Structure 1
């Protein structure tokens, strides 16, 4: 990708159709699950920000879509993501398999719940 994109739309425009479509679907789902989420590009990747702090990074690569800064989860979500765990805080969804959008919805929902719980603890 020549240069660093400045928006997620720029990022998508530089991708082949299949990865761009997958990222766009995730983008739409994130906005539906997290009202008020904003978008940015950080580290050259689409980033979803909540209250000026990142909630989720994602990137399209040659063979997969990756979600970053994904912590360990409680069961049963931890088992559901186990096959996709590529590193301590990274999930990879290969293009050789259908992208599990419903699972990604669960991940985003859990990330939002954790953020809200952390924010509530800091308010008291």
Structure 2
């Protein structure tokens, strides 16, 4: 396996922890990294993982938010909170793996990630 540089680690960590940027930064940052670093297997793979995970949580948030307008979604808010906590935990794990130069696979979304090749 090739050695991973500090820049590669930094970009991969940024992709995973982009939700700390606020707003839509959690989608835009991994998307930009994903599009610009196609030639770097390590950064590309991490950006792809993060992008799909962040898009999945965004989709879940939109569904719960819209269904909350009908009062049905209020029951789903605790589920959404658990999903966001899961994203927080798994992205921190991913950032630690990146700092060790390792790959990380988010649970439950791998089939979507594989379809982005």
More helix by share: 2
> TM-score scaled to structure 1, two decimals?
0.27
> TM-score scaled to structure 2, two decimals?
0.29
More strand by share: 1
Higher RCO (C-alpha 8 Å, min separation 6): 2
